[in-house]
Structure 1
Amino acid sequence: MKGLWVLAAISLYCVGGAESTGSARGCQAQPNCKECLKVPGCAWCWQQDFLKAGEPNERRCDTAEALKERNCEKGYVVNPLSRVEVLKNIDLRSDSENVVQLQPQSLHLKIRVGVPETFEVWFKRAEGYPIDLYYLMDLSFSMKDDLEKIKNLGEEILKALKMVTQKVRIGFGSFVDKVALPYVSQVKRKLANPCPSRMDSCQPAFSFHNVLRLTDDVADFTTRVSMQRISGNLDSPEAGFDAMVQAAVCQEAIGWNNVTRILVYTSDDTFHMAGDGRLAGIYQPNDGKCHLNADGYYDKATEYDYPSVGRLSRALAANNIQLIFAVTDKSVPSYQALSKLIPRSVVGVLEADSSNVVQLISEAYGNLSSTILLEHLSAPEGLNISYTSKCSNGVHTPWLRNGECSNVKINEQVNFTVKVTATSCLPGVETFVIKPQGIGEALKVTVETLCDCNCGEPEEHSPHCNGNGTLSCGICSCDEGRLGQRCKCEKHGDKDSVAAMEAQCRQTNESQLCSGQGSCECGACECRPRHRGQYCECDDGGCPRHNNQLCGGHGDCNCSVCDCHANYIGADCGCSVLKDKCMGRDGKECSRHGRCVCNQCVCYQGFFQDDCSELRAPCKTFLECALCSLSSEKPQGEQNCSRHCGSVKPQRADQNQNWDFPCQHTKVRFRVDPETEDGSIRVIYTDPPEPIDMTMVAVGSSISGIILIGLAIIIIYRLLLEVYYRREYHNFINEQKKSRWNVDPNPLFQEATTTVFNPMHITD
């Protein structure tokens, strides 16, 4: 079910994306079908009668929507759409016998040039994925104590890795340096025993030795490693690069399987690299090939220079090997710098006696395997490939050259979106692979560009080509001796016949063929609709427009020039010589405050409205004139107000008339009357109102305020008191209702007894 869902998702995503991209970009016309399809968004119409008179073949190239609007029938539109075909799509699974971590496994892309195509890739880190670990050890003399420790660690290393997977194999290799000066002494005694002291016994130096190919036999590992003896050399750097390249490329000798491949490199010093071999007279660059003899030794060490960092990185990446540098503290900075240049590599600090190597390998493997880096290999030129990552921790990356997710746990799935864009037509079907670094699984992608036109079989001696050419995709390929868009021109023997015919279609040597508005056929211009003339120089639709109408709707377009109707003038016939729309309310042209231009009033400064009958801000505009006029009546006032009034006529208001003065000022009141008999502006002014005694106003206001405040306080106090009395009375009534008088006799109360006797009557 998931496989079907993946196929549907990819198909919908890709086809939908191609259609939207093509229609949105528009199209730049091209002269033939193949070139047309190289432009994103373009389609080609090969219908024979599609072009109108004078239209060149380039007009066949346009967007599919535009071709349809121009009546190109559906069956004649060449517009191949990009699509993705899923060839192999096995679901992700962690079956120990058949692990699948990458989905899908094979795709075929059919893409248009310049149109991006996208598809999804899923990766799920499987539990129990098999591991091949090759232990590569520096056997220079300074690693003597480390060798003794490693001899007994084989079982512990396997035990640590089996906590991750039950399928583990381990191998062992060693390295020292090239057996040449100045790396290794050439003295016969030193060649046999390169130890610095005669009291020690060392094996002869070597560049690289494959001691034990990968095996799951722990006892065999322990036995073979225990047989190893330390060696020695003269300088500090070692031949680690030689060893790593040979361990990577010698697939059969090392015994690598298609599983997770780990190379553990242990050393207590730095490394030789490309160029160092010249010290020993070794100039030939490293070829990156396997050169192990029958005994497992690298026997071309003195013929080839040390590998470069790039050679080493490519060898490891090409063979899906993940690298763990286990080096002592003093060498860590050098190897950290190297690790940045080698993908899928980490650096761990090794104790002086390698006692922590098991823990180091376990931690380093965890760091390596939890980072998924998706990359492409062997991509052909002309393809741009980029990735977005949707990681399980919620991190989403933009389009990058690689897809990457970190801290991926076992059984966690991460998604990548891959975008492929062709920048040019590929010569055929090309193939590249997308794979996670350090993992053998890969997605095989085949790509073909949709640059070929399916226009049916070519028609030789086509009537459309006047029987003188082959019709293909709507275009005539003329026979020898024939020329023209439809092969109706006969070519004469001279080389310049084409140029000579084209010269007859140009007004000048610098002008375009047929003024760019037609095609040259046999020395004569065939003009497009709306164009005419010997050189198609007359455009009956190219006249100026007014109010978005050709010649303003008041003229006829004749060879890009407007012939105006009666009462209209101007290049675009937009100017009427009538004046009916300029008449003001007084029957005067523009109310005598403007001039009539093209039957519209152009108002003088300060006036507006269609008939220029109203002033703009009259009170502000003529205030200075009114002030000056009023001041001129006083002996010390300004006598000449022409500077402020200009042509305006100031006039004092007649006291007998009931004037309205809309313009009020503390020093003057006035009104502006623009509608005079002679069209001039009149300012009618008068004195301001008598000033008010502000002292009395202030005193009266203060007294009134005090009285009002006092009354307000008394009223508020009386209201509050009334509220208080009412509340107390209400409480009294409620308490009275609650009281109940007790009428029962009090048992503790005894009434007084009265005894009356007559003192006069005494009885014995």
Structure 2
Amino acid sequence: MARPGGLLLLLLAAAAAERCLPRAPCDACIRSHPECAWCEDPEFTAGGKAEEARCGSRVALEQAGCPHDAVVEPRGHVRVLEDVVLGPGGGGAQLGPRSLRIFLRPGEEQSFQVRFQRAEGHPVDLYYLMDLSYSMKDDLENVRKLGSDLLAALRNVTSSVRIGFGSFVDKTVLPYVSTVPSKLRNPCPERHEPCDPPAAFRHVLSLTANASEFASRVSQQRISGNLDSPEGGFDAIMQVAVCEERIGWRPVTRLLVFASDDTFHTAGDGKLGGIFIPSDSRCHLDASGVYSKSHLYPPPPLQDYPSVGHLAQVLSAANIQPIFAVTGPTVPVYQELSRLIPKSVVGELREDSSNVVQLISDAYNSLSSTVELQHSPLPPGVSLSYESHCGGPPGPPRPHGGLCSGVRVKQQVNFTVRVRADGCLAAPQAVALRVLGFAEELRLELRGLCACPCAPRQAPTPLCHGGSLECGVCRCPAGRRGRRCECEGAAEAPGDCRPPNSTGPPCGGRGRCVCGVCECPPGLSGPQCQCDSSACERHDGLPCGGPERGECVCGTCRCRDGFTGSACGCSLERAGCLHGERECGGHGRCVCGRCHCQPGYLGPLCTRCPSCQTRCQRHRDCADCRAFGLGPLRANCSLACNRTAVRVLRARPPRAEAAGWCTEQAADGRILVFDIEGQADEDEDGDVTLAVWVEEAAAAAEPVKLVAGLVAGIVAAGLLLAVLYRVSLEVYDRREYRRFEEERRRAKWNENNPLFKSATTTTVNPNFVQE
């Protein structure tokens, strides 16, 4: 029988062989599948194997005779180029490591760890972008007062904070705003109310730490107006993101507060105003900080509003986290928008913006406690997956990034990142990993592992008769050929590698003629490659049952000692068929190590006959041999009763017969009393548990007779009582009937029944005189 360890190796080799097909040269072999290896031993193909046979799994190559140290099996690996210490000791670093070089073999996965520790007091830049359409008039009054309050709230979490301001209305063309010159100058409904001209975006104040300057510049702003309800906020967000120098962004946490009370225009809405040029993601602010002037000063051709996807991409690239502070009716719309823009949050703004400071503070805490690790665009054929370790059980792998929520200050979270390349990377590729909202990056340098690291090339070498040796294969010079360049000439003679008087192709067209000898591809053998080793019958999925049972010789199984059959699947071992000293209990024959039972008999040893024996008889011999080592099965009890467990009782159980216990007589006269406590289905093999007690035959006969007599007496007494009851009941009925008849004869009734009363009454008037 095959050992479990050897069988496992065979199964692993067979599974790897199905994935790793023979091929040459070595570079093509290792690129074909990550399980493929190459044998560079020069003597590996000395028996006539083709050079393609050098390609296979390591297990298969070593089983085929390749030395362990001659197997070339390159493996990818990760090399740390730059690392940092997180926290104050590492200069305030939050993300580590900083740089990795990863060698990727096609189809093989590599993994590495990324650490992030949220730092305390990380600097913040906040740009306040406000809708100045006429409906936001009362909000502007409150925003003019919030400069110092907002800076004070942010300084509670960081000492370095700056704030800027900008406004937007909409594009200055119909149908978004009125193009009447007077309305362009003063779009407010009241003619005498001072208003600013509308603009798609007006940059008012670059980022500054001076709260008084913020209050001064904002106080100078006046409300504006437009015609339609949606606003041009997407144009403003785009300019804030791409005009980094004008806005004054630092490489710190960047927050953009977007305050509005209405929805937004998006890509395609520009066609209403005859605008069809898409947004180009470039800064278009003039010297005064205005993106779109009025029609009195025509700007260059206007561009359409950016799409949601375009805006999400630009914000992510600029590392800006939006906070949408909007009024109640528009909150659901902006919540849907937030799902499409990474690292954004929505807060409900009161009608007069009186809660904006608290809203921004809560939103900042929510954004800072969410750690989301993402990557830059990947090269073709490269994929990444993330497993987040946030302090609890790791989350499921995610293909687009790692995510941890509720991260506290100074808490460290980890991510396991797995990278895989489906094909060979021809040149090094660069990928960046970054936690959204933070400027630090982890740089990945991806390199392909596509060449065989064989021993240095030997040229020339006597082994190859003047040729060079590369990865165990001879490269012959001009004018020589053969596996070792031992043959002269560039081609074979016409009669080489053919049977006598044959005009067919050399080696039957199935192999390659080398120096007059056929080199057969894997799976074929013989002088003319006529033998197909894969044509042999299989047992348990392996040709000829595997090397321990037989070998395939020219399409026919040659079985080893102890096995027979066309696929060597039949074992000649007969020990497993013995029941006691008889083969298959005398009720069958042993075929391939298993019993084939006669009709009516069941079980692995043909010991069960449901139609021949009772349930108790089938377990009698196993109960005897397991409990006392006696009976006909005592010589082979461990094998014949291997599914039977027995516990021996110290005393006879009370009322055993009434409880359905088995009482069987052994061959020596003893009485076995046992209960079948646990048993599989009657028609199947299964584990059986018996509780057994033994007694002498004479001692056991008396209780049986006593019980039988007692039962008979009870039955007789019951019958007697039933008869007596029925007789007494019959006598009583007859006596009552005779008394009734006698009473009826003696009864004498008057003419009228004295008990009868008529339903009518006749009354006679005494004063009536009949004529």
| 1:88 match | 82
Q: Distance in 2 between matches of 1:167 and 1:554?
A: 78
What secondary structure, in the 3-state scheme, does the structure 2 residue paired with 1:303 have? coil
Correspondence for 1:166 among 153, 159, 172: 159
What corresponds to 1:405 in structure 2? 404
Structure 2 match to 1:473: 471
Residue type at the aligned position of 2:368: S
Partner Cα distance (1:198, 1:55) in 2:
98
Distance 1:699 1:387, change over 3 A: closer
Q: Distance in 2 between matches of 1:569 and 1:72?
A: 30
Letter in structure 2 aligned against 1:169: R
1:104–1:121 Cα contact (<8 Å) kept: yes
1:504 corresponds in structure 2 to 505
- Counterpart residue type for residue 251 of structure 1: E
Instruction: Report what 2:146 is aligned to.
Output: 153
Residue 535 (structure 1) aligns with = 529
Say whether 1:54 aligns with 2:48. yes
How many angstroms does 1:489 deviate by? 8.3
Q: Deviations over 1:725-748 (max 9, x none)?
A: xxxxxxxxxxxxxxxxxxxxxxxx
Query: For the Cα contact (< 8 Å) 1:543–1:551, is it kept in 2?
Result: no
1:196 has 2:197 as partner:
no
Conservation of the 8 A alpha-carbon contact between 1:88 and 1:104: yes
Q: 1:234 aligns with which of 215, 227, 230?
A: 227
Identity %: 47
Which residue does 1:645 correspond to in 2? none
Instruction: Check whether the contact 1:433–1:443 (CA below 8 A) recurs between aligned residues.
Output: yes
Which residue in 2 is equivalent to 1:439?
Answer: 438
In structure 1, C-alpha distance between the alignment counterparts of 2:65 and 2:453, rounded to whole Å: 20
Q: 2:361 maps to what in 1?
A: 362
Q: TM-score, structure 2 length as denominator?
A: 0.66
Out of 90, 111, 115, the residue aligned to residue 104 of structure 2 is: 111
- Higher mean C-alpha displacement, 67-76 vs 29-38: 67-76
- In the aligned structure 1, how far is the partner of 2:148 from the partner of 2:170? 29
Contact 1:154 1:221 in 2 (8 A): yes
Call closer, same or farther: CA 1:524–1:147 in 2, change over 3 Å: same
Say whether the 8 Å CA contact 1:372–1:405 is kept in structure 2.
yes
The TM-score, its normalising length taken from structure 1, stands at 0.66
CA distance in 1 between partners of 2:455 and 2:708 (Å): 107
Alpha-carbon distance in structure 1 between the residues aligned to 2:402 and 2:555:
59
Counterpart CA distance in 2 for 1:164 and 1:82 is: 44
AA matched with 2:371: I
In the TM superposition, what is the alpha-carbon distance from 1:361 to its structure 2 partner? 0.5
| TM superposition shift of 1:139 | 1.3
The Cα shift of 1:329 comes to 1.2
Using the TM superposition, give the Cα deviation of residue 522 of structure 1 relative to its aligned residue in structure 2, in angstroms. 6.8
* Pairwise CA distance, 1:88: 1.7
CA shift for structure 1 position 291: 1.8
Q: 1:236 to 1:395 in 2, by over 3 A?
A: farther
Which structure 1 residue ranges, 5 or more long, are not aligned?
A: 1-20, 576-589, 622-659, 663-691, 706-764
Decide whether the 8 Å contact of 1:552 with 1:573 is kept in 2.
Answer: no
1:209-241 deviations in Å (ceiling 9; x for gaps): 211111111111111111112222111111111
Amino acid at match of 1:504: P
Deviation string 1:9-31 (CA, Å, 9 cap, x unpaired) is: xxxxxxxxxxxx99996761432
**3-state SS in 2 of match to 1:49:** helix
Give the distance between the partners of 2:405 and 2:96, measured in 1 at CA. 19
**CA offsets per residue over residues 113-146 of structure 1, 9 Å max, x none?**
2222222111111111100000011111221221
Q: Hey, what's the Cα distance between the residues in 1 that align with 2:564 and 2:250?
A: 91
Decide whether aligned partners of structure 1 residues 463 and 279 sit closer, same or farther in structure 2, where only a CA change above 3 A counts: farther
SS in 2 for 1:50: helix
| 268-277 vs 286-295, which moves further | 286-295
Instruction: State the SS of the aligned residue for 1:448.
Output: strand
Cα shift readout 1:326-347 (whole Å, capped 9, x = no counterpart): 1111211211111110011111
**CA root-mean-square deviation:** 4.9
The question of whether the paired residues in 2 share the 8 Å contact of 1:140 and 1:231 is answered with: yes
Structure 2 letter corresponding to 1:453: C
Alignment partner, residue 685 of structure 1: none
Larger Rg: 1
Give the conservation status (yes or no) of the 8 Å contact 1:22–1:115: no
Return closer, same or farther for 1:201/1:456 CA change in 2, 3 Å cut-off.
same
Tell me whether 1:312 sits opposite 2:311 in the alignment: yes
1:186 positional shift? 1.7
Residue 699 of structure 1 deviates from its aligned partner by 6.4
The 1-side partners of 2:62 and 2:473 are apart by 19
Say if 1:541 and 1:550, in contact at 8 Å, map to a contact too. no
Q: Which amino acid aligns with 1:206?
A: A
Once the two structures are TM-superposed, the CA of residue 473 in structure 1 deviates from its matched residue by 2.1
Aligned to 2:172: 179
1:416-443: per-residue Cα shift (whole Å, max 9, x none)? 1111122211112211111111111111
Distance 1:123 1:569 in 2: 65
Where 1:340 maps in the other structure, the secondary structure is helix
What is the CA–CA distance in structure 1 between the aligned matches of 2:551 and 2:139, rounded to whole Å?
102
**1:168-317 equivalent positions in 2, closer than 5 A:** 168-299=161-292, 302-317=301-316
Q: Name the residue aligned to 2:518.
A: 525
Range with greater deviation from structure 2 (530-539 or 482-491): 482-491
Task: Tell whether the 8 Å contact from 1:373 to 1:403 is kept in structure 2 after alignment.
Answer: yes
Q: Matched residues in 2 for 1:150 and 1:556: separation?
A: 89
- Tell me if 1:41 matches 2:35: yes
**1:698 shift after superposition:** 5.9
Secondary structure of the 2:174 match is coil
Return closer, same or farther for 1:53/1:217 CA change in 2, 3 Å cut-off.
Answer: same
SS in structure 1 opposite 2:45?
coil
Q: For the Cα contact (< 8 Å) 1:236–1:269, is it kept in 2?
A: yes
**Shift of residue 280, structure 1, vs aligned partner:** 1.4
Aligned to 1:425: 424
Aligned equivalents of 1:502, 1:376: Cα separation in 2 = 64
1:535 counterpart letter in structure 2 = C
Code of the residue aligned with 2:337 in structure 1: it is: L
CA 1:179–1:700: 2 relative to 1, 3 Å = closer
Is the CA contact 1:208–1:243 (under 8 Å) kept in the aligned structure 2? Answer: yes
Offset of 1:359 from its aligned partner?
0.8
* Whole-angstrom distance in 2 between the partners of 1:553 and 1:259: 68
Total equivalences in the alignment: 585
1:41 counterpart letter in structure 2: E
Describe the shift of the 1:605–1:213 C-alpha distance in structure 2 as closer, same or farther (beyond 3 A).
Answer: closer
Stretch moving more, 226-235 or 482-491: 482-491
Deviation at 1:348, TM superposition (A): 0.8
AA aligned to 2:405 is: S
CA distance 1:325–1:615, shift in 2 (3 Å): closer
- What is the CA-CA distance between 1:395 and the residue it aligns to? 4.6
Change (3 A) 1:391 1:607: closer
- The separation in 1 between residues aligned to 2:61 and 2:137, in whole angstroms, is 81
Q: Is the 8 A contact 1:176 1:207 kept in 2?
A: yes
Counterparts of 1:697-716 in structure 2 under 5 Å? 700=713
Question: Does structure 1 conserve the Cα–Cα contact (< 8 Å) formed by 2:531 and 2:554?
Answer: yes
Shift of 1:183: 1.2
Pair 271,541 (structure 1): closer, same or farther in 2 beyond 3 Å: closer
- Paired letter, 1:59: A
Per-residue CA distance 1:239-283 (angstroms, 9 max, x = gap): 111111110111111111111100000111111110111111111
User: Would the aligned equivalents of 1:322 and 1:438 in 2 still touch at CA under 8 Å?
Assistant: yes
| Matched AA of 1:452 | A
* Alpha-carbon offset, residue 164 of structure 1: 0.6
The residue type equivalent to 1:180 in the other structure is V
Question: How big is each residue's C-alpha offset from its partner over 1:621-665, in whole Å with a ceiling of 9 and x where there is no partner?
Answer: 9xxxxxxxxxxxxxxxxxxxxxxxxxxxxxxxxxxxxxx9x9xxx
Name 1:133's counterpart in structure 2. 126
